[in-house]
Amino acid sequence: MTVTKKLKIVHIIPFYYPVIGGMEELVKNIAETLAEKGHDIDIFTTDRDHEGKIVNSPRKERINSVNVYRFRTFFKFGFMSFFPGIIWSLLRKKYNIIHLHSYRHPHTEIASFIGAIKSVPTILHGHGPFYSDTISKWKFICYSAYDFIARYSILKRISMIVASTEIEKKEYIKRGVSEHKIKVLPNGLRNIYFSNVNTAEVLKQYALLGKKTILYVGRLHPNKRIDALISSLPQIIKHEPRAYLLLIGPGADYYPYLNMLAHKNKVEKHFKWLGAVSELEKIMLYNAADCFVMPSDYEPFGLVLLEAMAAKKPVIAIKAGGPTEIVEDGQTGFLIERNNTKQLENTILMLLQNPDLANKIGSNARLRAEEFRLSKMVDRIEAIYYDLVKKL
């Protein structure tokens, strides 16, 4: 077999475009890049979004040369969805590779079992599912029980595991997976995020001229700790009256609480939520911001950090999980302790009040982001595919 052979690959993921999220965007980018390289790509996903609402998209459609199939969700618990329609499709269709996204989900168990029956190489791409120090006790017990069973089921059946970080790799090894069965593959960023863009339009549109913009991009959710960011604003504004917090991303259910918190802290004039925006608009806002903050309790990777870094922005994140392998503390951004509001305030102020420092950190951040180009990631994924197929 030559390395130029066209492969038929199915990616199975709980949610997909137009649903917005880090994993969803990454898988879309991987799938479309593989399609550009000549491979035949299918996506199997659910018909729901993160909140359980039905997605207003066709059951079957073709998006940028990728075939997308949305299956009926029979039940959903959190982000775990049961969509058994994939069973018949996997049994009927012939694939060279089954690429599974997420761990501890029904679809990964189902598809890995079918892959084993049909002798189809199956990859598990967990996207950093291990965060035991930030979850409830009962979830920890349930996850631990599943992980014990998984040693003898999916983790044994799977052909290869893709980990986003060294931290994630170590967690799989703790669960009995052989090191040779794991590839560490950091997430990749599309070239468009490295583009030089004119920010005049968004500065005018959102009245950001003269403001010191603190940017957050992502879902509005309690685990993202945007409440801590809003609570820190009074002290930040006291020392830097031009400070302005801009939030981008879905989360209409959680926004009323954040808005109430902003009014309670009397910072509503220094705070705005834009909801979901277009990719181009998001890139312009990255470039227009003064700094980027991701205060989440835990992030398995943090693709938005790379997006901001590609725009030469200094970033601030919690010293836990994926950000510790992306951000070089004090060089390409800053890592702060969890639940340390004072440190969050001081770090933001330091960047807002020291533009030379912010520019220096931002320039370093851009160089660091260059190491995470999507093209490099997809080339490595493709190499894994060919290696697995050759072993059959």
The first and second tokens of residue 95, run together, are 């694939």
The first and second tokens of residue 217, run together, are 């991009």
Whole-number Å distance between alpha carbons of 184 and 166: 6
Q: Which CATH class is domain 191-372?
A: alpha beta
Question: Which residue matches tokens 């931290």?
Answer: 167
- Domain ranges in the chain? 8-188+373-390, 191-372
Instruction: Give ∠ CA 235-241-247 in degrees, rounded to 5.
Output: 75
Can 8-188+373-390 and 191-372 be said to share one CATH topology? Answer: yes
Strand 160-163: give its sheet, edge to edge.
Answer: 60-63, 66-71, 40-46, 8-12, 97-101, 122-125, 160-163, 182-184
Write out the chain's pLDDT in tens, 392 residues: 445 689 999 999 999 999 988 899 999 999 999 999 999 999 999 999 888 889 999 999 999 999 999 999 887 776 678 899 999 999 999 999 999 998 888 899 899 999 999 999 999 998 876 665 666 676 777 767 767 777 767 888 899 999 999 999 998 898 888 999 999 999 999 999 999 898 998 999 999 999 999 999 999 999 899 999 999 999 999 999 999 999 999 988 999 999 999 999 999 999 999 999 999 999 999 999 999 999 998 888 889 999 999 999 999 999 988 899 999 999 999 999 998 999 999 999 999 999 999 999 999 999 999 999 999 999 999 999 999 999 77
Give residues with Cβ within 8 angstroms of 304, minimum separation 6.
Answer: 22, 217, 218, 292, 294
Q: Decide: helix, strand or coil at residue 238.
A: helix
| The listed CATH number (3.40.50.170, 3.40.50.1820, 3.40.50.1220, 3.40.50.2000) that belongs to domain 8-188+373-390 | 3.40.50.2000
Whole-number Å distance between alpha carbons of 375 and 240: 40
What is this structure's pTM? 0.85
CB atoms within 10 A of CB 243: 24
